[in-house]
Structure 1
């Protein structure tokens, strides 16, 4: 009797990640690119629409799309859009976040991620993965490797 051979699962090669900027997001992006074995290319490092369009034409990458003008150029070729919330779940993290929201002089501009919910209507073939907390992000990354 022969054991069934495991079928090889195809991992996404073009991934856009949306989340609040910071060290946690940077670490997540780097780990995702490593797991998928594709380059991490921050769109902020590119100098305009021509370079973003050239990136989109490549076969593999992980990036963000923080600016609205970048999204149409990369989402057309994106296989998976990941919405990740890596905010600290510790009590101190919640206090800091609450204070930022209450005090206008400390308020940091939180990214508008409403575009993530609208993206599938514009790009129906786009798979969207929602990772609502650091634990689900970690579980998802492990499931890819």
Structure 2
């Protein structure tokens, strides 16, 4: 994820080189792991049991609406521009459209821009969650 493009890779390497040598804290490329329970819960928030696990992780409530998985475009932008965002995709992106739909009707909150968090906003080329997953899988299989 840190090498999605040449610019991002250069930023990661530059940050690493600029870190001071410290015996107590070695230099690192990424401050968090690309695959973690938190990342999995981020993507699968709308699916039980991950919904309940997300609530447990946030001390009994959903995280702030602005930090939830809201839009595929926003998630893509974040992983391309934020050095802190190194979440890898979970397998559900390639076989299970349910993770994109708030079928349980969970109250995920309202963002600061006054938009309700519900189903994940899809790219304009995907007519439905099923269509998105089918095209995503086709792209993976063609690679």
TM-score higher than 0.5 here? Answer: no
What's the TM-score once normalised by structure 2's chain length? 0.26
Q: Which has the larger share of strand?
A: 1
More relative contact order, 1 or 2 (CA 8 Å, 6+ apart): 1
What's the TM-score once normalised by structure 1's chain length? 0.25
